[in-house]
Structure 1
């Protein structure tokens, strides 16, 4: 998947499309997902043209990698999720159903989320059946 300068997250970073901002610093922008899958569902994106975690860690400068990861943690703190817990998820590529070709980490929280993967989703015999 190639980086598309006109993807929705690139447009959000350029202030061409509004977002409901949660956190921003020199390295990242965090905002509420427009189609939340949990009571709290926020996306954190790096400020740079990176498609996936592999692309980001291979090509971004070290200060951006560190700053972005810190921004994910700071965002969870700002949302009040750190004490009760939360889940992070980054889809990469077609098989993971990545819809936007810009690295983004989902933060889910606000309720018990249950198991991440159930064996049936992986072709197994039930929970843990993989």
Structure 2
């Protein structure tokens, strides 16, 4: 990588999907487990939930950046993120749906902001070309 990092997140995982994961600063310390739909007991979180939460938070940051740049006040807003684990011929892949809830913003403006945020969000950039991401306004 040629660009200088402004921040580096550090995490340590043990035991895969049936183990634990924690960050070096202790802010995240989770038990991992298979969801019931995959034969687990549903007693731990899973990588898809963590990815969904991270993507939603990051995307909202990108949305705020784009909205400020266009002089749009978002008012109360939120983002619902759904991450599917999909079986394919070899193993698995993921699919993502992001739904913007911004009731104080005109629908056409919200859709424009959503698509522009998708161009600048680091998670969107990282998944582009590898993951199908559906965008919609509630």
TM-score w.r.t. length of structure 1? 0.28
Give the structure with the higher percent helix.
2
Higher strand share: 2
- Report which structure shows greater RCO (CA 8 Å, sep ≥6): 1
